[in-house]
Chain A
């Protein structure tokens, strides 16, 4: 199964809408609470990255027998150094975004923490494709 949702860059008013729709779908499928929580958290962070940095993007939700696969593809500036971007607290968000309470540099690390697998492909001045999976049959222990 494959569903796609649009994300518009700089549209902070709609922040969370695409990941809300993803969450809605997972609840309709009756998935275990802890899977919903992890996908929702990771999807929200990924959506915000598109809103903060990119022009536009899409979030595609694929539900397979073994896992939830989410692909967020955007058209935007891309990430020059992915390793650096993965570091906790590293952020290139402009000050006005930080004033809104976003862009604290925890997005990508947070996705990694919640997903069972993640991958980033990026081309400078073209865009970024982030993909993460959450396995359905294996449960991570909830952190306190």
Chain B
């Protein structure tokens, strides 16, 4: 039985599968996970929805609360909104048209994709980067997990995030412009990761633009069945259709490729992103104009809800070349350029005090002092057996009243040894 970890968190834990091992505990970039009573627990205020826990769990205990294909079929079809990642799940030979056809066959009534929105987004980011008021290094805000990581763990970098309306919202507002016909239809975003599902469902407002999100992995099998059937019959014609715009955003480096920006630092994988942000926070990257950062290894192709190996997927992407057909310019030559102002976020990014010890500054100081004392008792080997990711985190939990010293095996071992020595001495005295 899966139970939601928290009302607006899409992350869920299958408690029967969870064996309380320490894989997710150690992988979490914000130390948001603890093992309590033998099961993993997540602290919602710290979770940045990167999905590392899903990726590292050896038993597949972590999952996503999302919609299923059955829901689409039951209510008589809906629009499938495709992330560029979807395209690269099926090898290099499928054409966009074939993919759309397969979606119709599995029960959707229409297909849209993010390509056009990404093209506009890229143009807006490009003009932001060449504007006077940009802050260096500008940090890409296209990956919602990276945005959340900055908000929680690197508060001093929130103003470096590129303040452009995310592609998903650009798509949503374009749908609105197209009139009632389209907005009336229910739509589901086919997502490669937890953070994008959250962006579609929570950040945009439930039901406002998307009726839900469906993990790519949930539609992969039925699509694969249709695609591989088709290949046998139409092998000659497939692969000749030009690639539609935005598809290369699925791989890390895709954004920089779309920008007019010659120099950018491309980083993927949440640990690597954290290391780079650490450098940026210490003021070492001020001569880097743009950091393109993706929470997953390889970019969205490495998302926790994808099926295809991200490196194989990227191979297909590279092999397909750069034959992008712009949809904004209707295939005409020349770059898309937009005025940045209409695409600026009205509310810029703000830091989330996820790492703060206490609202009260004085109390926080006192706690920090006590943590520094308590942590010295522990062996400093960060074994994770206590249910905290490291010794410092255990010390913090103790001071916050969520844990006790005896959770540390080493302390417990020492205490037991001491007690048995005392008992031995008492026995000798009795003789």
Residues of A near any B CB (own CB < 8 A) = 1-3, 16, 19-20, 23, 25, 27-30, 33-34, 36-37, 40-41, 43-44, 63, 110, 114, 142, 144
The answer to whether residues A29 and B283 also contact, given A3-B372, A36-B156 and a CB cut-off of 8 A, is: no
- Residue on A nearest B355 in the bound complex, by CB: A27
Minimum Cβ distance to chain B for residue A6 (Å): 14
Minimum Cβ distance to chain B for residue A73 (Å): 19
Which segment of B175-183, B212-220, B244-252, B361-369 sits at the interface?
B361-369
B368 near A29: Cβ-Cβ < 8 Å: yes
Additional 10 contacts, C-beta under 8 A, given A28-B356, A29-B368:
A20-B278, A23-B281, A27-B155, A28-B357, A29-B356, A30-B357, A34-B156, A40-B156, A44-B283, A144-B136
Residues of B near any A CB (own CB < 8 A) = 133-136, 153, 155-159, 278, 281-284, 351, 353, 355-359, 361, 364-369, 371-372, 396
Count of CB-CB pairs between chains A and B under 8 Å: 75
B364 near A28: Cβ-Cβ < 8 Å: yes
Minimum Cβ distance to chain B for residue A54 (Å): 19
A41 near B283: Cβ-Cβ < 8 Å: yes
* CB < 8 Å neighbour of B282 from A1, A2, A40: A40
The answer to whether residues A37 and B156 also contact, given A23-B281, A30-B361, A110-B283 and a CB cut-off of 8 A, is: yes
- Sample 10 A-B pairs with CB under 8 A, ordered by A number: A2-B369, A3-B368, A27-B155, A27-B355, A28-B356, A29-B356, A33-B156, A36-B155, A63-B365, A142-B159
- Residue on A nearest B364 in the bound complex, by CB: A29
A33 near B351: Cβ-Cβ < 8 Å: yes
Minimum Cβ distance to chain B for residue A69 (Å): 13
Bound complex: CA of A63 vs CA of B364, how far in Å? 11
The answer to whether residues A1 and B155 also contact, given A16-B282, A44-B282, A114-B283 and a CB cut-off of 8 A, is: no
The residue among A20, A28, A34 with the most chain B CB atoms within 10 A of its own CB is A28
A25 near B282: Cβ-Cβ < 8 Å: no
Top 4 nearest A-B pairs by Cβ distance?
Answer: A41-B283, A30-B356, A37-B156, A33-B156
Minimum Cβ distance to chain A for residue B271 (Å): 15
Instruction: Name the prevailing secondary structure of the A interface residues.
Output: helix
Bound complex: CA of A136 vs CA of B368, how far in Å? 18
* CB < 8 Å neighbour of A37 from B136, B281, B353, B366: B281
The answer to whether residues A41 and B282 also contact, given A30-B356, A30-B359 and a CB cut-off of 8 A, is: yes
B368 near A25: Cβ-Cβ < 8 Å: yes
Chain B residues lying within 8 Å of A1, measured Cβ to Cβ, are: 365-366, 368-369
- Residue on A nearest B281 in the bound complex, by CB: A40
Minimum Cβ distance to chain B for residue A134 (Å): 12
B361 near A29: Cβ-Cβ < 8 Å: yes
The answer to whether residues A30 and B281 also contact, given A1-B369, A3-B372 and a CB cut-off of 8 A, is: no
Chain B residues lying within 8 Å of A3, measured Cβ to Cβ, are: 368-369, 372
Minimum Cβ distance to chain B for residue A1 (Å): 5
B283 near A30: Cβ-Cβ < 8 Å: no
Chain A residues lying within 8 Å of B358, measured Cβ to Cβ, are: 30
Bound complex: CA of A33 vs CA of B359, how far in Å? 15
Bound complex: CA of A23 vs CA of B361, how far in Å? 16
Chain B residues lying within 8 Å of A23, measured Cβ to Cβ, are: 281-282
Chain B residues lying within 8 Å of A30, measured Cβ to Cβ, are: 353, 355-359, 361, 364
Minimum Cβ distance to chain A for residue B308 (Å): 37
Chain B residues lying within 8 Å of A20, measured Cβ to Cβ, are: 278
Chain A residues lying within 8 Å of B133, measured Cβ to Cβ, are: 144
- Residue on B nearest A41 in the bound complex, by CB: B283
Minimum Cβ distance to chain B for residue A107 (Å): 11
Bound complex: CA of A43 vs CA of B281, how far in Å? 11
The residue among B135, B278, B281, B355 with the most chain A CB atoms within 10 A of its own CB is B281
A37 near B355: Cβ-Cβ < 8 Å: no
Minimum Cβ distance to chain A for residue B398 (Å): 14
The residue among B134, B283, B353, B359 with the most chain A CB atoms within 10 A of its own CB is B283
Chain A residues lying within 8 Å of B134, measured Cβ to Cβ, are: 144
Chain B residues lying within 8 Å of A37, measured Cβ to Cβ, are: 156-157, 281, 283
- Residue on A nearest B282 in the bound complex, by CB: A44
Chain B residues lying within 8 Å of A142, measured Cβ to Cβ, are: 135, 159
Chain A residues lying within 8 Å of B366, measured Cβ to Cβ, are: 1
Minimum Cβ distance to chain A for residue B358 (Å): 8
Minimum Cβ distance to chain A for residue B391 (Å): 14
The answer to whether residues A19 and B282 also contact, given A1-B369, A29-B356, A34-B156 and a CB cut-off of 8 A, is: yes
Chain A residues lying within 8 Å of B282, measured Cβ to Cβ, are: 16, 19, 23, 40-41, 43-44
- Residue on A nearest B350 in the bound complex, by CB: A33
Minimum Cβ distance to chain B for residue A15 (Å): 10
Bound complex: CA of A43 vs CA of B371, how far in Å? 22
Minimum Cβ distance to chain B for residue A9 (Å): 20
Chain A residues lying within 8 Å of B364, measured Cβ to Cβ, are: 28-30
Chain A residues lying within 8 Å of B155, measured Cβ to Cβ, are: 27, 33, 36
The answer to whether residues A28 and B368 also contact, given A20-B278, A44-B284, A144-B136 and a CB cut-off of 8 A, is: yes
